[in-house]
Amino acid sequence: MEDYTVNLGLIDAGKKSFSFEVKDQFFEEYPFSDLQHVNISAIAKLDKDGNNLSLNLKISGEIYQIACDICTEKLTINISGETDLLIKKNNTDLISTDEIIYINKNENKLDLKHLIFELIVLNVPKKRQHPLDKNGKSKCNKEMIKLVEKYTKTKKTASDPRWDALKHIT
């Protein structure tokens, strides 16, 4: 499995880039994730200016065999995203935030694996569905949509008469 660690001790003043490939094995440590089949490139650009260190992390690639939210057929989704972070060395144990990563002053390695995972997950569309064709129609599996519609008809249930009086309260 690829190592997603950057040795901060070897970075001189200026900019340094690191490239990582994210494949299916990457998600073995994240079994709770429904992302299992991916081909994503991650580029980490570190900029060191004196004691200040900034990180620009970019991802781009594809997620394969993910279920469409509408018809459940497998599809491929293109994703891309970017984030900027500051890395600060400190003697005390401070909790990292969305913008700042605190590491121990004696620590020279930064593991980017979880940051890459978070960036991938945050850039997956909330609604995973087939794209529309040039006529504005969904490319979803028509037979599956008919089955979903057939079995998801909601039944109107009678309300409990004990609660009917509450409907008139304004």
Q: What is the pLDDT of residues 96-126, one digit of tens each?
A: 777 888 888 888 888 999 999 999 999 999 9
Among 70, 55, 58, 45, which Cα is nearest to 128's? 70
Per residue in 124-166, pLDDT (tens digit) is 999 999 988 899 888 899 999 888 888 887 777 777 888 887 8
Res 1: pLDDT: 53
Q: What is the CA radius of gyration of the chain?
A: 24
**pLDDT over 90 percentage in the chain:** 46
Please state whether beta strands 74-90 and 100-104 pair in parallel, antiparallel, or not at all (unpaired). parallel
Contact 16, 22 (CB under 8 A): no
Could you say which DSSP state residue 93 is in?
-
How far is the C-alpha of 77 from the C-alpha of 124, rounded, in Å? Answer: 8
Task: Give residue 1's Cα distance to chain centre.
Answer: 20
**Amino acid letter at 152?**
T
For 54, phi and psi rounded to 5 degrees?
-115, 150
pTM for this predicted structure: 0.81
Better pLDDT: 11 or 144: 144
Helix (H) or strand (E) holding 50: none
Res 91: pLDDT: 74
